């Protein structure tokens, strides 16, 4: 199957290229970059040296393919989607342009009116663990936001199985690596300013909140803090239980939803240095590690992912595998390294 990547020079685009070059069912035929048109992929992604002879193309030169991944900036695809849909029968959008079901939410969370609101009903939200059957039937998928992915996967089982009180606040804190901000520099990302920081950059109003509420059906108060790491997200979510539950009830809740999921792992050890989910160990992998702890009335959920993989490129390849009937783990088998 022939695949192309729009927006291949960003961090997410680079991960898509890396994954698709190794995918046993896929031939990567093009990746675009207006800035680096005609340059080899390794000019931007040095980890791809001697991996391929392909060079970046301009968007206007993209040819028909079997599937297109769009890693273009937010707001770009929604204004040029007709041409892209004419080029391929399947499209996976990794931006926020088609994640929200309600068109009015785009004005609130993205400060814009959606130009094609009728298409929002056709896009399937791209978390396979929640929408596997819909994705298998769909030709249009919108990948989830990275902070939303970690939060939704961590909270979904206990909400679905009625373990927490939806009338009381669920507070989630996402601790994020610098790659989440993309590869465009800013004064805040300048090394002397960024290094060593623990920076609350979105204590309220994070746009991924809209996805979380949409998918979980309950209110969640999301805050985001930038840490001095490159990859990774650790979400810590606090909530009150409806009643004190035995630990086995919580385990059952998670296993009833995720026991057959190839990319969900439960991490809750009695001893050792990594007793709970640790994003450092997930670098380059498509896993979401989930753990929890309780006291008399409170449950604390911890979920970790690599924001560029399970939160972006890996999630999109997983959705492609389901769309096309490939084995779900194809191209996503890397298990991580330790120490790192």
List the catalytic residues: 146
CA dihedral 270, 272, 278, 281 (to 10 degrees): -130
Phi-psi sector, 93: left (phi>0), alpha (psi -120 to 50), beta: beta
Quick one: CA dihedral 204, 205, 206, 209, positive or negative? positive
Quick one: CA dihedral 251, 257, 260, 266, positive or negative? negative
Whole-number Å distance between alpha carbons of 72 and 7: 5
Q: In b/e form, how buried is each residue of 165-175, taking b as 16+ CB within 10 angstroms?
A: eeeeebebbbb
Whole-number Å distance between alpha carbons of 314 and 294: 31
- Answer yes or no: are the C-beta atoms of 340 and 280 closer than 8 Å: yes
Residues in a beta bridge with 193? none
Q: What is the DSSP string of 189-211?
A: GSHHHHTT--EEEESS--THHHH
Sheet with 170-176, side-by-side order of all strands? 199-202, 220-226, 170-176, 233-240, 298-305, 288-294, 264-266
SS3 (DSSP) at 49: coil
> Strand 199-202 and strand 170-176: pairing?
unpaired
Of residues 67, 94, 75, the one with CA closest to residue 310: 94
> Strand 233-240 and strand 298-305: pairing?
antiparallel
The count of other CB atoms within 10 Å of the CB of residue 28 is 23
């Amino acid at each position: 199957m022939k695949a192309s990547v729009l927006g291949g020079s960003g961090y997410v685009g680079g991960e898509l290229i890396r994954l698709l070059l190794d995918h046993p069912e896929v031939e990567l035929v093009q990746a675009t970059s207006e800035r680096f048109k005609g340059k080899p992929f390794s000019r931007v992604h040095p980890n791809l040296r001697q991996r391929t002879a392909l060079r970046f193309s301009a968007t206007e030169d993209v040819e028909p393919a079997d599937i297109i991944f769009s890693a273009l900036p937010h707001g770009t695809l929604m204004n040029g989607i007709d041409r892209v849909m004419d080029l391929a029968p399947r499209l996976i959008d990794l931006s926020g342009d088609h994640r929200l079901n309600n068109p009015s939410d785009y004005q609130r969370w993205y400060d814009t009116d959606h130009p094609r609101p009728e298409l929002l009903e056709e896009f399937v939200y791209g978390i396979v663990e929640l929408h596997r059957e819909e994705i298998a039937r769909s030709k249009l998928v919108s990948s989830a936001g990275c902070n939303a992915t970690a939060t939704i996967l961590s909270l979904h089982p206990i909400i679905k199985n009625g373990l927490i009180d939806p009338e009381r606040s669920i507070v989630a804190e996402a601790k994020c690596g610098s790659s989440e901000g993309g590869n465009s520099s800013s004064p805040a990302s300048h090394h002397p300013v960024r290094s060593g920081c623990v920076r609350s950059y979105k204590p309220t109003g994070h746009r991924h909140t809209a996805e979380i509420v949409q998918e979980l059906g309950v209110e969640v108060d999301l805050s985001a803090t930038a840490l001095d790491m490159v990859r990774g997200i650790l979400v810590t979510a606090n909530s009150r239980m409806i009643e004190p539950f035995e630990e086995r009830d919580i385990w059952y809740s998670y296993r009833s939803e995720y026991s057959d999921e190839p990319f969900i792992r439960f991490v809750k050890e009695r001893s050792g240095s990594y007793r709970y989910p640790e994003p450092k160990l997930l670098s380059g992998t498509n896993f979401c590690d989930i753990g929890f702890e309780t006291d008399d009335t409170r449950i604390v959920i911890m979920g970790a992912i690599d924001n560029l993989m399970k939160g972006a490129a890996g999630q999109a390849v997983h959705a492609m595998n389901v769309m096309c009937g490939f084995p779900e783990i194809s191209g996503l088998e890397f298990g991580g390294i330790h120490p790192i």
